Structure 1
């Protein structure tokens, strides 16, 4: 009876180069761009020419070969089974060039795989038998641990699809899982297939191979593959493999299958996915703050205080919603901690007139008391708590300040998770701060971030699941909220922090698009033209990770000196990596953002 291959067809003679006979003993195999091969057997990693002759050899008892190729050549990693550590190397001019090995991780390595991220940085995942795992950033000047993560036990194989940043892990006798390979984020997972009786696999998945836009594995029943279609993984028809097939490797649309008779090349009837759209530009942080003193979801919102006498001595204020208010210098060093309780959002206004006095003040929302906390800031940037003002809210959340010209005191907008906004005027009488309610309004669902433009009198309001709204900041000109930018292709829920950059040729609004870890920049005046979005990536040289799941942000156009001559953006980072740690805030030079989005200043 003739066997029918559902999405495979045997390679026609001469249609493609089959692995040479010298690869027969190899348990891992990788094709090279020049037609050569990397073959890993029980005794050595061998570099083979296209005709199968040996060009170079690295003696070791190795396993888990993975490679990445590019303009700089081929990077390979193999696990030294005797030393239980990863050995990176480069294939250069017919040689195997050793790179510095990674430190032993403290567990026996069962699986290892490479990942090349959107910045073209190379990472390595190391996975232990009990599910312990580490992600490392590889570098010629030294390797850095990015994060630790927990994966299933008994993972025997892993591979990463760079295009979708998906880490595939094959759990012995159980199933195939897909994780996010991007260290920035919480790292959710999805089960692609499970072994019987929970799923359709005859036994657990064995070797893995990446296919264009998908992944394949083998079990006793044959070859199984899945394609990514939008946000879903779609199982493809099962295919019969040559008898005794075990190991897998892939080279584009060619599947390499290891059998008792050696490796065989099989052509795939596999439609490559459509080319991905242009990725967002990446800017690098110039500095980061010391981590907050509480683990978990703690850091939330920053504000910037400008030292007009010495801009380089300006301060960044940041809330720790498990502890209080933090004050940092422009190098990110913590200078103060005010244990004011569960503060959420903070904003700053300077040179505020309170009768005959003028003060710099910060205002924050305090979630234990559902109160507004007023802080004073002296001429050296030292912050002190001055007052707590009650509100009528049940679950106070976000806040921003408004300072209209010629007004006495400062105005504050505070919101509740149920959508209510309260608009207060904060004044000082007989040395004491007081708040007068001017108006109330609401969004249909949960808000948080807001920012007021003191020059134009415009209030921008973020509704987390719906988008960005505007309304007059002046209570006397109150008007219904008007949608400026709905959640959609550019702005991804949740809509979080926002700030205004006041440039010489116009003002820009910067908004945290938390759902896709990006920052949207648009004009802060009608018609609110969108200039694009960017992400914050890894600054390898400075040892600073990127940012993700940003809650609050602040931006200034003030010349703060050094890299911040055109101003700076400060963002909260939801996941501190390189290595793992409590959350902190990242500093970004505005000139880097302007260059990435081709903005005027």
Structure 2
């Protein structure tokens, strides 16, 4: 029987064989690996972890030794803090201040300091001891300019890591919040983050270096950067990692001590031995102008070794500009199953009490879930694998007035109908067969002149069918009245009842506009294009929002975990691009990999008096659990539109 540890080791070797062997053989055949031009030189400083950095125009030495944390300017002691600290890491806050983090090995507690030489007290302990639930092997900061968050990774040595949120939108949290738990290799020893590309590098002892995504809402997939011999060029356990400005990577092998300089794709650019150490454990880097210096130390606090590296020639990446962030203030209960389960929301408005309104959400494995405005699941209808859902109001069913919801049922490619009574209880109201072969997206339309309800449903082939829903007083029936077509797979759609327009998302291409009337021309017009930058495929959820006589389209840009608001009339101008981010005060994570979404500008009760944006969250975190829906007050979006000068 294979133990869990050995299983992961075998998995690593197998992956290395399939992904690296051919590439490494080719690299070794064509590339001469040269050693560094300079030899290591000893500094006067003895330290277990050492950094040299410029703050407020002065060169400071910041290091840990047997006495604790030390900060020196030349030979002059500036500040200190006693303790048994290891894995010291730094993060610039400005030209005049630094954030420092270190673990106290005696009680596995995290310390955070702010160092600002121009202040009366240059070293300020920002947080008292924060006891980690993991035995921490390494620390690394990540500053996300695009998402306006500062976080710290605590890398554990037993197959896990925590990402702590420290700052959001320039505001410090009262206490760090764990916003993501990562599954990493069992013997992980070192980490580093590329601040420009959001790549999180993790060293798996003496076996491999992996690249993950550092953003908390990102996919947890990984790629292999380098692997041990004979399949790659690693020879010993990696005890330290550091990024250079050109996104290349320094990796420190512990024993025998050797420094590797790797390209962002994992190729060894050069390597240097560090003969002064039998074992090296600490690594930092100082870039000043065209000079790059690596500092190597060990846990015995021997003299720090410095090594001048060849000047990088690769262009330095620039940080992505900040994107607008809005916070959810409510979330629904998680789906009972983990994985890709939930898809599309719809809102049912209570006729007289907005706070009693309901959120309908499809379950792609089981049926339809219904949630209260407190996010609690109040009803489940196990009708089969539903994909998208929508609803309309005031139709006759079994001799009484009911509202109607329709959903695409993938079990038999039919329309699943539900009747909603005045108290908000849903009833199975039967099915309507379609000619679909692979049913997918759906939305409803109600003709403003006749009041007749219709269902638009689409197939992965690009076929869109329009069904009229008729009532004989007792039951509802569906009749096919028209067929439309887009070139490739669609899903999300929304109908503008007032103007008689249907908007359809073609996942890889953009958004189409059709006339919604049953007798209208079936020719469509592509109005919004996927550009891979601002609107990134897949185009999934689409919703319509009315405000002050203006009509907006809200579209989920699934490929980059964002959302875009456009005018819903020509020329379909982009008004706002944003993300749904973490709400640390309420313990709600952001939203990512969104499939369906919905917008209502009608009141949903306290906190949502002007309505809400409701998005499916493909990766539900804090804690990690099944997918759910996140609710953002529509007022928050109106404020952002106002700031951008786009609110009409």
TM over 0.5: yes
Looking at structure 2, the residues matched to 261 and 5 of structure 1 have their Cα atoms a distance apart, in angstroms, of 28
Kindly state the Cα deviation for residue 338 of structure 1 after the two structures are TM-superposed: 2.3
In the alignment, structure 1 residue 600 sits paired with structure 2 residue 647: yes
Kindly state the Cα deviation for residue 494 of structure 1 after the two structures are TM-superposed: 0.8
Kindly state the Cα deviation for residue 174 of structure 1 after the two structures are TM-superposed: 2.1
Secondary structure in structure 1 of the residue aligned to 2:322: coil
Kindly state the Cα deviation for residue 185 of structure 1 after the two structures are TM-superposed: 3.0
Deviations 1:71-102 (A, max 9, x none): 59433222222323433333362335161333
Kindly state the Cα deviation for residue 203 of structure 1 after the two structures are TM-superposed: 4.1
Count of aligned pairs between the two proteins: 584
Looking at structure 2, the residues matched to 472 and 319 of structure 1 have their Cα atoms a distance apart, in angstroms, of 27
In the alignment, structure 1 residue 99 sits paired with structure 2 residue 127: yes
Deviations 1:318-343 (A, max 9, x none): 11222222222333233322222222
Match of 1:307 among 339, 346, 350: 350
Residue equivalent to 1:224: 261
Structure 1 window deviating more from structure 2 (581-590 vs 415-424): it is 415-424
Secondary structure in structure 2 of the residue aligned to 1:591: helix
Kindly state the Cα deviation for residue 569 of structure 1 after the two structures are TM-superposed: 0.6
Q: Is the 8 A contact 1:124 1:135 kept in 2?
A: yes
Residue equivalent to 2:14: none
Q: For the structure 1 residues 455 and 353, does the alpha-carbon distance in structure 2 shift closer, same or farther, using more than 3 Å as the test?
A: farther
- Over the aligned positions, Cα root-mean-square deviation in angstroms equals 3.0
Looking at structure 2, the residues matched to 240 and 361 of structure 1 have their Cα atoms a distance apart, in angstroms, of 71
Map 1:120-519 to 2 at 5 A: 120-138=148-166, 141-203=174-236, 205-214=238-247, 215-219=249-253, 222-227=259-264, 233=265, 235=267, 237-238=269-270, 240=272, 244=276, 246=280, 247-253=282-288, 254-258=292-296, 261-264=303-306, 266=308, 269-270=311-312, 273-352=316-395, 358-407=401-450, 409-488=452-531, 489-519=533-563
Residue equivalent to 1:88: 112
Secondary structure in structure 1 of the residue aligned to 2:428: strand
Structure 1 window deviating more from structure 2 (77-86 vs 482-491): it is 77-86
Looking at structure 2, the residues matched to 560 and 54 of structure 1 have their Cα atoms a distance apart, in angstroms, of 60
Match of 1:522 among 551, 554, 566: 566
Residue equivalent to 2:143: 116
Q: For the structure 1 residues 315 and 400, does the alpha-carbon distance in structure 2 shift closer, same or farther, using more than 3 Å as the test?
A: same
Kindly state the Cα deviation for residue 512 of structure 1 after the two structures are TM-superposed: 0.7
Secondary structure in structure 1 of the residue aligned to 2:129: coil
Match of 2:99 among 69, 72, 75: 75
Residue equivalent to 1:47: 70
Residue equivalent to 2:55: 33
Deviations 1:456-495 (A, max 9, x none): 2111111112221121112311322321122213211111
Q: Is the 8 A contact 1:29 1:40 kept in 2?
A: no
Residue equivalent to 1:535: 579
Secondary structure in structure 2 of the residue aligned to 1:579: coil
Q: For the structure 1 residues 356 and 379, does the alpha-carbon distance in structure 2 shift closer, same or farther, using more than 3 Å as the test?
A: closer
Residue equivalent to 2:15: none
Q: For the structure 1 residues 241 and 303, does the alpha-carbon distance in structure 2 shift closer, same or farther, using more than 3 Å as the test?
A: same
Kindly state the Cα deviation for residue 517 of structure 1 after the two structures are TM-superposed: 0.3
Kindly state the Cα deviation for residue 136 of structure 1 after the two structures are TM-superposed: 2.8
Looking at structure 2, the residues matched to 161 and 526 of structure 1 have their Cα atoms a distance apart, in angstroms, of 41
Q: Is the 8 A contact 1:257 1:266 kept in 2?
A: no
Superposition TM-score, scaled by structure 2 size: 0.83
Kindly state the Cα deviation for residue 442 of structure 1 after the two structures are TM-superposed: 2.9
Kindly state the Cα deviation for residue 439 of structure 1 after the two structures are TM-superposed: 2.0
Deviations 1:389-430 (A, max 9, x none): 222223222110010123354100112223222210111114
Looking at structure 2, the residues matched to 584 and 380 of structure 1 have their Cα atoms a distance apart, in angstroms, of 24
Kindly state the Cα deviation for residue 594 of structure 1 after the two structures are TM-superposed: 2.8
Looking at structure 2, the residues matched to 509 and 181 of structure 1 have their Cα atoms a distance apart, in angstroms, of 31
Secondary structure in structure 1 of the residue aligned to 2:534: coil
Structure 1 window deviating more from structure 2 (28-37 vs 444-453): it is 28-37
Map 1:565-580 to 2 at 5 A: 565-580=609-624
Q: For the structure 1 residues 572 and 512, does the alpha-carbon distance in structure 2 shift closer, same or farther, using more than 3 Å as the test?
A: same
Looking at structure 1, the residues matched to 500 and 575 of structure 2 have their Cα atoms a distance apart, in angstroms, of 22
Map 1:55-74 to 2 at 5 A: 55-71=78-94, 73-74=97-98
Looking at structure 2, the residues matched to 209 and 387 of structure 1 have their Cα atoms a distance apart, in angstroms, of 61
Kindly state the Cα deviation for residue 241 of structure 1 after the two structures are TM-superposed: 6.6
Looking at structure 1, the residues matched to 333 and 437 of structure 2 have their Cα atoms a distance apart, in angstroms, of 32
Kindly state the Cα deviation for residue 20 of structure 1 after the two structures are TM-superposed: 7.0
Secondary structure in structure 1 of the residue aligned to 2:174: coil
Residue equivalent to 1:15: none
Runs (5+) with no aligned partner, structure 1: 12-17, 228-232
Kindly state the Cα deviation for residue 585 of structure 1 after the two structures are TM-superposed: 0.7
Kindly state the Cα deviation for residue 363 of structure 1 after the two structures are TM-superposed: 1.0
Residue equivalent to 1:544: 588
Q: Is the 8 A contact 2:344 2:596 kept in 1?
A: yes
Runs (5+) with no aligned partner, structure 2: 1-31, 167-171
Q: Is the 8 A contact 1:123 1:136 kept in 2?
A: yes
Secondary structure in structure 1 of the residue aligned to 2:519: helix
Secondary structure in structure 1 of the residue aligned to 2:270: coil
Secondary structure in structure 1 of the residue aligned to 2:640: helix
Q: Is the 8 A contact 2:581 2:590 kept in 1?
A: yes
Q: For the structure 1 residues 51 and 222, does the alpha-carbon distance in structure 2 shift closer, same or farther, using more than 3 Å as the test?
A: closer
Looking at structure 2, the residues matched to 53 and 272 of structure 1 have their Cα atoms a distance apart, in angstroms, of 37
Q: For the structure 1 residues 261 and 103, does the alpha-carbon distance in structure 2 shift closer, same or farther, using more than 3 Å as the test?
A: closer
Structure 1 window deviating more from structure 2 (157-166 vs 264-273): it is 264-273
Looking at structure 1, the residues matched to 354 and 360 of structure 2 have their Cα atoms a distance apart, in angstroms, of 15
Kindly state the Cα deviation for residue 204 of structure 1 after the two structures are TM-superposed: 5.0
